[in-house]
Amino acid sequence: MKNNFLLFLLLSVLANAQVNRFFYEYKYIPDSNDKADVKKEMMLLDIDKNGSNYYSHDKYVADSTSKADLEKQLKGGMAGNISINRRERPGQVAFKVTKQYPDFKTYLFRSVSTDQYKIQEDKKPEWKILPEKEKIGEYNAQKATTTFGGREWTAWFSTDLPFQDGPYKFYGLPGLIVKIEDSTGSHIMTMIGNKTVQAPAAETEAELPNNVRIIGMGGKEIEVTKDQFRKVWKAYVNDPTKNMREMMMRNGGSDNTRVAFKVKTSDGKEISDPNQVFKQIEKSTRETLKKNNNPIEPDLVN
Residue 282 confidence (pLDDT): 84
Tally of domains within the chain:
1
The answer as to whether 41 is a domain residue is: yes
Backbone angles phi, psi at 120, to 5 degrees: -80, 130
The answer as to whether 278 is a domain residue is: no
The answer as to whether 127 is a domain residue is: yes
Tell me: the pLDDT tens digits for 177-197?
999 999 999 999 999 999 999
- Closest C-alpha among 204, 231, 221 to residue 110: 221
Whether the per-residue pLDDT at 149 is higher than 60: the answer is: yes
The answer as to whether 299 is a domain residue is: no
Whether the per-residue pLDDT at 76 is higher than 80: the answer is: no
Sorting pLDDT into bands at 50, 70 and 90, what band is 259?
Answer: low
The answer as to whether 13 is a domain residue is: no
Q: Strands across the sheet with 18-28, in order?
A: 128-136, 139-148, 151-158, 176-182, 187-198, 18-28, 39-48, 51-56, 96-100, 105-112, 115-120, 222-224
Q: Dihedral angle at the C-alpha atoms of 147, 148, 154, 159, nearest 10 degrees?
A: -110
Sorting pLDDT into bands at 50, 70 and 90, what band is 277?
Answer: confident
Domain residues for the domain of 186 are: 18-238
What does the angle CA 151 – CA 155 – CA 156 come to, to the nearest 5 degrees? Answer: 170
Query: How much is the average pLDDT of 195-216?
Result: 62
The answer as to whether 188 is a domain residue is: yes
The answer as to whether 294 is a domain residue is: no
Q: Which residues pair with 263 in a beta bridge?
A: 271
Sorting pLDDT into bands at 50, 70 and 90, what band is 200?
Answer: confident
Residue 71 confidence (pLDDT): 52
Q: Any idea what the CATH number is for the domain that residue 201 is in?
A: 2.50.20
Backbone angles phi, psi at 249, to 5 degrees: -65, -40
Tell me: the pLDDT tens digits for 210-252?
545 555 555 578 999 999 999 999 999 998 888 777 776 665 5
The answer as to whether 49 is a domain residue is: yes
Q: Any residues with CB less than 8 A from the CB of 183 and at least 6 apart, and which? A: 151, 152, 153, 154
More confident residue, 257 or 11: 257
